[in-house]
Structure 1
Amino acid sequence: MVWTGSRRTVLMTAGLSLLAGCGGEGEGERSLFTGEQGVGEKVLAVKIDNVPAARPQTGLDKADIVYVEQVEAGLTRLLAVFASRFPATVGPVRSVRESDLELLRQFDHPALAYSGVQSRLLPKVESAPLTALTPGRLSDGYVREPDRSAPHNLYLRAARAERAASDVSAPRDIGFRFGSAPSGGRQAEERTVRYPAARVSFSWSEGKRRWLVSMDGKPARTSGGGRLAAATVVVQYVKIRSSRYGDRSGGVSPYTETVGAGRALVLRDGKEYDARWRRGKPSDGTSFTDDDGRRLPFARGPVWVALAPAD
């Protein structure tokens, strides 16, 4: 699949028509991922480590979307999606999971940067509709940080990855809508999402107009010292089951089901809204609606999606 200018024009025209109904008229091209100005021409996803030894991470503050996913031992990893902005470096980069392949289908044919894959899963990764950017295929696109210990010290040079990803898709509609805050909702100062051995919290800052991110009870910052934050947080309750794959120590990798339907919470502007999510098939985007079936508009800016255990 080769990106062409005409294909991007079609996607942008459709996307802007959808955004126009959400207060986007006359404001120029806006991202389908954040609702802000600045669209981008390519979609790059990066699998990022999230254990304490991997923090603070680099480049997450430039991501349009950050997904929080459960992995082995009840811990979490992050899948960061970039399109409108690319940091100089991003990481630490870690291995891919089967769930990532299903989650990324809604982006059509993105690039995926990762390091390592379970051997039995490799054929499935190689046949997926994505461009894999691994250290073996992009040797000059990765660097080791000498002040960190392996495996938490591998970083992607995002600009090099962007140049190498010549055959990937432009941003397209994945179901997000942006606009003014809807009526209703509940005042919310903080929301914590718990995993078996990890937790992520979002605290509303009226001054910054952002949800400030914390990991395992500590403020989440970038390697440059800035606080990670989101304009909109989605807590998407999903089924998490065992997959057919595992790690070297014998741990079974969980599989997070992102096709289907379920309940969700949408956090924006210091409030939380009950929602329903729906994704009919892997190539579809994910819609978030209220009890009456109306799309819930997100606040413009970075979006964090915590894929939380439904039970």
Structure 2
Amino acid sequence: MSEGDDETELGDPVRTDDRTGPDDEGAAVEAFERLGLTGYEAKVFIALHRLGSGTARDVAEITDVPRSQVYSVAENLEARGLLEVHHASPIRYRPVRVEEARETLRERFEHEQERALEYVERVQEEMPAEETTEEIWTVRGSGRIDDRIVDLLSNAEDRIVFAVRLPALFDSSIESVLEDRATDGVSVTAISSAQRVRDRLEDRENLRVQEPREPRTEDERSGRIAVVDDDSVLLSVVDDDGSETAIWSVESLFASVLIQLIEANEETLERAA
């Protein structure tokens, strides 16, 4: 999947690099914050591991956490299962072992994840039966569009018409699914003005390969068209910067009407190829 790919159903995830650990305390504190600790909690926990054990004064001397705040922060860490308290005078604190902390944080993360997703599932189940989803979706980036086309083609039962203009937009995953669907008895037609694309498909059994009758050499914007059965369609265009954007729809009035328009005007397919 190419960098910058985006689809409107989902936002982009936060990028992290888990190949190596944080190389400074600031990065470690940020990592702990992403796991649910506050900045002060992370700093106190790290300080106690540096000290082995210590009092509030000891912690305040090597962090920017005020001594008056260390007590409440330590109480929170104790409640989280991340440190132990020795009730002496003065009170001393000792962090749990790293492995124990790792397991505690993992369990907490998994618990919070389940709580969040269970609520989302409940909301989804409570949706009114008559509510419908969006009929038209937008997907950006050639990698994401490759995935969407493969998904659409994989669900074909009767026929596929696929048109592509640029060899760079004819991903091997699409080539494979076209061949597989043709082998399974689906009527598959591939259209392209690019000889390299046609050569890759020419000898595939049960797969029709066509060249547009009048290729439009000045066309630099059309990308790909995929028509599946009578109810699924995807169209893409290539932007001025070379990026690709597509709209797609499945089992919708929009898809049915657009397929009829495409088939009524054969030149539409030829221009895309």
TM-score calculated relative to the size of structure 2: 0.22
- The answer to which structure, 1 or 2, has the higher relative contact order (CA under 8 A, 6+ apart) is 1
> Which protein has the larger Cα radius of gyration, Structure 1 or Structure 2?
2
Query: By percentage of residues, which structure has more strand?
Result: 1
- Larger helix share, 1 or 2: 2
